[in-house]
Amino acid sequence: KKNIDIEDRGNIITAKGQNFQEQVKIMLDLAEAKGWNLKTLNVTGGEEFKKEVYRQIEKRLQLKKNLTITAQAVAIKKQERPKSEVHYKQQKHQGQKQAKYNQPINIHTNSNDKKEKGNNMLLKINICKSSNINAVDNWEQIEVSSYSELATLMKEYPYSATQFDNGYRNSDNANSFNNVLIYDIDNDKDMPQLTIKEAEQKLKEAGISAMILPSKSHNKDKNGHIAERFRIIIPTQTPIQNLDKETYREFQQLTAKALKIDKYVDTKALNDKARFYYRSPADAVPVIVKTDRVMNIEHLQRVAIERVQQRKAERERELAKLKEIRANAIKHKTINIQQNSEHLSYANGEKIMNIPIEQLIRYYEKPSKEYKEGSYEYLATSKVFKYSILKNENIAHDFLSDETYNSLTYLMKIHQTDNVMQIARELERVTGESYTEVNYQVVERAINKALNSAKNDKELEEAIKEQFGVKYCKLEKDSIKIANKEIKLSDVNMQKIDLINKFRENRETHKQQQQQRQQQHYSYRRMR
């Protein structure tokens, strides 16, 4: 009725609505019930909301101060020594220790909180008390307050940074996390290697509190390779949010990169929200990085969320573009090919366009990455190109250049020419398959032209070579070979007997012409 919506999310209390006064009161009641220190609360939100929070905190702290003064006055009157603030803290801590296995302790801290300094911290981790080798069930959340306590747990039980619903481990139940990051450094053969000392130095450079603990295969032969193998455990000010799988992976990769360990960590673990780790050996010695700073992951989470949202928006734009292209595919499959009508052969543009464009892209540009998005397939490298393949239409769209190609226009781009014959010959060189066709009408005209004067095979062949600018021509029984093309005479509406008869006719005509020239020459001499 009052439009107050408050959610207790473990380490964070969130609220919606505008009724700030009552909203903040309930939130602070919750915080105090959890045992949180009001002086060190991290408050985020609008300016009006934060003002109201700080106003009520100040009021509550002042009230507590007055109550303490009154209690001390009564104690003096009764000649009782008042308990010190240190004593109260010790009592409170003891109560928390007794209740730690059945009551979750939530962490809200800043980098100056002395509870977090060096070897001491407050974090939660999940352990598995099941004997099942795959650590499927009987998971429970444990709070620890020191690295020594954490190391002891990690040597006794399988453990995870994830909280599993109903204590059963699977991806569907991995919906919340503890305030801890765990990275597995396995130093596999043929991979970049990171020693414990180098990892310690990187954590010191990052200036965060952390622990390194050798794993069960530390300095053991694994696939013919002996190396240091260990886990890096990093407390965080707040738990990871319940991120979807893609955002979780992005966050883990960003965090590993920020810590400069991204080349060494087990990438499978970065993608697995339900990841667990087998216990370390009993003699594993922890290496502790002591600083005053507990890692703040809020910025990295925001960046991960923003990047994934940007990628999703980009994918939506891409899908819309691909739908548009698919709806107008005929436009991208049509091309006017200019053919020279006097050439011996011409390029078979239709055959070229029927070559699978995916096959051409793989051959010429050798993609380093390929994946599917719905019904679309992508081939890409990081910087040069990013194609989406529309297989049914045999076209590809490059999102970086915003160009759509069929197989022929793609080859024009690759070879930087619109000469289709040049492209066809290059394909023939690469594949050994013919992508040119004989221009039969041109050949028929060329033979007929040569037959006007040719008196034998040789004269015909020389005339054909001159006509097409080739070095080879040979008249066979039922065909004629011109360059690398063998053409059946029947395909140019001729038979060998027709050519023979024509040769005879030309020889007879030539003979008659010679006789006439001789007679004319004899008559001229007599007249002189």
Q: pLDDT, tens digit, for every residue of 225-254?
A: 999 999 999 999 999 988 899 999 999 999
Helix axes 420-431 and 407-415, enclosed angle (nearest 10): 90
The tokens describing 290, both together, are 């002591």
What's the pLDDT score for residue 181?
96
Phi, psi dihedrals of residue 16, rounded to the nearest 5° = -125, 155
Percentage of residues in the chain having pLDDT higher than 90: 51
Q: Are strands 479-482 and 473-475 parallel, antiparallel or unpaired?
A: antiparallel
C-beta separation of 470 from 517 below 8 A? no
Q: What is the pLDDT of residue 7?
A: 87
Answer whether residue 303 shows pLDDT above 70: yes
CA gap 396, 357 in Å, rounded: 7
User: How many CB atoms lie under 10 A from the CB of residue 494?
Assistant: 20
The Cβ-side half-sphere exposure at 332, using a 13 Å CA radius, reads: 22
Whether residue 99 is predicted with pLDDT greater than 70 in this model: the reply is: no
Does residue 180 contact residue 235 with C-beta atoms inside 8 Å?
yes
Q: Which two tokens stand for residue 249?
A: 């992976």
Expressed in angstroms, the distance from the first to the final Cα of the chain is: 138
Contact between residue 162 and residue 178 where contact means Cβ atoms under 8 Å apart: yes
Cβ-proximal residues to 175 (8 Å cutoff; 6+ apart), any chain: 163, 165, 242
Q: Which residue has the higher pLDDT, 480 or 515?
A: 480
- What's the confidence (pLDDT) of residue 446? 93
Q: Band of the pLDDT at 210, cuts 50, 70, 90?
A: very high
The answer, yes or no, to whether residue 343 has pLDDT greater than 50, is yes
Instruction: Please answer whether residues 35 and 89 qualify as being in contact, where contact means their C-beta atoms are separated by less than 8 angstroms.
Output: no
Alpha-carbon gap, residue 431 to 273, rounded angstroms: 48
Give the per-residue SS3 of 61-94. Answer: HHHHHHHHHHHHHHHHHCCCCCCCHHHHHHHHHH
CB 479 within 8 A of CB 496: no
Two structure tokens written together for 516: 């006439």
Tokens 């040069």 -> residue: 384
Question: How far, CA to CA in Å, does 31 sit from each of 43, 143, 345, 455, 493?
Answer: 12, 18, 86, 112, 99
Confidence of residue 23 (pLDDT cuts 50, 70, 90): confident
Task: Give the pLDDT score at 315.
Answer: 85
| pLDDT at position 527 | 65
Give residue-wise pLDDT tens across range 251-271: 999 999 999 999 999 888 888
pLDDT digits (tens, 9 = 90+) for 431-490: 989 998 898 999 999 999 999 999 999 999 999 999 999 999 999 989 999 998 899 999
